[in-house]
Amino acid sequence: MPERARSAAVTAELPEQAAPPGTAGRILHAGLELFAEKGFSGTSIRDIGARAGINSATLYSHYRSKEHVLAALVLLGHQELHVRLQRALVRAQGGPGSQLAALVRAHVLAHAEYPLLALVANAEMHALGSDAAAPALALREQSWQLLLVVLDEGIRAGEFTATDPLLAAAAIVGMGRQVAHWYGPRQPYTPEQIADTFSGYALAIAGAAQHDRETT
């Protein structure tokens, strides 16, 4: 599995209706591919123009700067994840076990279905100034809280035997985030398979009772 590339993905897909139409959308796609492959600083405005099929100067009719292109992508990625997590939690019927499973499933699915977006949102956010990063950071904090509340509640209710929700959350988030780095079309799994398997791992980490793991 080890490879040099940052991602095993090949197509740079953006969630439907999330990307603007026309040239602005093509710029976003181009930025996504290039930032994922070479990083923000390793990508020039001319690279983006060439990939999007426009002159580099045209970019400034749609975004104020290269940083604004990245900021749009980083925000979009965090929004998509947060919306999915919220929806998963609301739809989960049952106790903390099924809620945790639903959250992790959504988290992993988002990283497997949009690996480049997840990669850029996570690995390139450091290139944004603190103002540009703030909205995405706020969403990340909220997503983090969703997971933490479920873990806390499961421990309080005696359904999870884990004793340290912070470490459990860090482990669960870590294994999910890395999916963006290794999942690609050459892997013999569907995103759903990975999501379901990792949901089980998360329940194991949390120390959910065995019968819960099989019925969620």
Rounded to whole angstroms, the Cα distance separating 106 from 115 reads: 13
Half-sphere exposure at residue 158, Cβ-oriented, CA atoms within 13 angstroms: 0
Residue 90 CB coordination number (10 Å): 10
**Footprint on residues 43-102 left by a second copy (CB under 8 A):** none
Q: What are the C-alpha distances in Å from 93 to residues 83, 87, 96, 99, 215?
A: 18, 12, 9, 7, 12
Rounded to whole angstroms, the Cα distance separating 94 from 211 reads: 14
The answer to whether 62 contacts DNA (rule: CB under 7 A) is: yes
Q: Please identify, among the stretches 39-47, 109-117, 150-158, 191-199, the one whose residues bind DNA according to the rule CB under 7 A.
A: 39-47
The answer to whether 120 contacts DNA (rule: CB under 7 A) is: no
CB of 138 to a second copy, least distance (A): 9
Q: Please identify, among the stretches 10-18, 19-27, 93-101, 130-138, the one whose residues bind a second copy according to the rule CB under 8 A.
A: 130-138
The site string for a second copy over 146-185 (x = CB under 8 A, - otherwise) reads: ------------------x-xxxxxxxxxxxxxx--x---
Question: Judged by CB under 7 A, which of 8, 18, 24, 83 binds DNA?
Answer: 24
Name the token pair of 168: 């459990």
The runs of H, that is alpha helices, within the chain are: 22-38, 45-52, 66-91, 96-113, 115-123, 130-156, 165-182, 191-206, 210-215
Which C-beta is closer to a second copy: that of 54 or that of 144? Answer: 144
Rounded to whole angstroms, the Cα distance separating 132 from 47 reads: 22
Which C-beta is closer to a second copy: that of 19 or that of 34? Answer: 34
Question: Judged by CB under 7 A, which of 13, 56, 184, 196 binds DNA?
Answer: 56
Partner interacting with residue 66 (select from a second copy, DNA, none; CB below 5-8 Å by kind): DNA
Region of residue 14 (phi > 0: left; psi between -120 and 50: alpha; otherwise: beta): beta
The residue ranges that bind a second copy (CB under 8 A) are: 1-6, 37-42, 123, 125-128, 130, 133, 137, 140-141, 144, 164, 166-179, 182, 189, 194, 197-198, 201, 204-205, 207
Residue numbers at the binding site for DNA (CB under 7 A): 22-24, 43-47, 49, 54-58, 60-62, 64-67
